[in-house]
Amino acid sequence: MPSTVVINAEQRAQIKEIVCDILEIEPADVTDTSLFKEDHNADSLGAIEILSSLERTFNAEIDQAELTRMVNLDGVVQVVEEALAK
């Protein structure tokens, strides 16, 4: 299903803040494509935390199957956009 919602800059910053807070990394170290697991030592609980925090922040429902796509910031933004479009 094509996305009909586009995350704005403010929301994107909000997502980045959530990710950085949970993975305990400096925002400057995270790029749109740096990998949470390989580049930032994220573990599976960290991934679940990010998903859960996004659900609460954006009042959206994100299926756990989407975790496989939430490997970097771009991936997370895309998943949130699709969740908001539903």
Partner 1 sequence: MTSAATLDAAGPAGSGPGSTGELVFSAWSAVSPFGTGAEAYSAGLRSATSAVGALDPEAYPGPYERAGLVDGFSAAAALGKKGTRTMDRVTALAVSTVGELLERCGSSLLERPERVGLVLGTGSGSVQSIMDFTRDSLTGDRPYLVDPARFPNTVMNRAAGQSAIWHGIKGPNTTIAGGWLTGLLALGYAARLHRGGHCDRVLCGAAEEFSVQRAWLEWHAAEEAARPPLGEGGAAWLLEPGDEARAAGREPLARLLTTRFRAYHRPQDAGPALTECVRGALAEAGVSGGAVRLVAPLGAPGEEYAVLRALPAGSDPEWIRCRPLLGDASAAATGFQLAAVLAAAGDGRPAAGELSLVTGIDRDGTVGCAVLAR
Query: Which listed residue (29, 32, 41, 56) binds partner 1 by CB under 8 A?
Result: 56
Check residue 22 for interaction with partner 1 (CB under 8 A): yes
| 56, 70 Cβ separation under 8 angstroms | no
| 53, 75 Cβ separation under 8 angstroms | no
**Nearby residues of 24 by Cβ (< 8 Å), 6 or more positions away:** none
Check residue 78 for interaction with partner 1 (CB under 8 A): no
Tokens matching residue 22: 């949970």
Check residue 59 for interaction with partner 1 (CB under 8 A): yes
The count of residues interacting with partner 1 (CB under 8 A) is 11
Based on CB atoms, which residue is closest to partner 1, 11 or 53? 53
Beta strands in the chain (DSSP E): none
Tokens matching residue 70: 């939430």
Query: Which listed residue (31, 52, 69, 86) binds partner 1 by CB under 8 A?
Result: 52
Site of interaction with partner 1 (CB under 8 A): 21-22, 24, 45, 48-49, 52-53, 55-56, 59
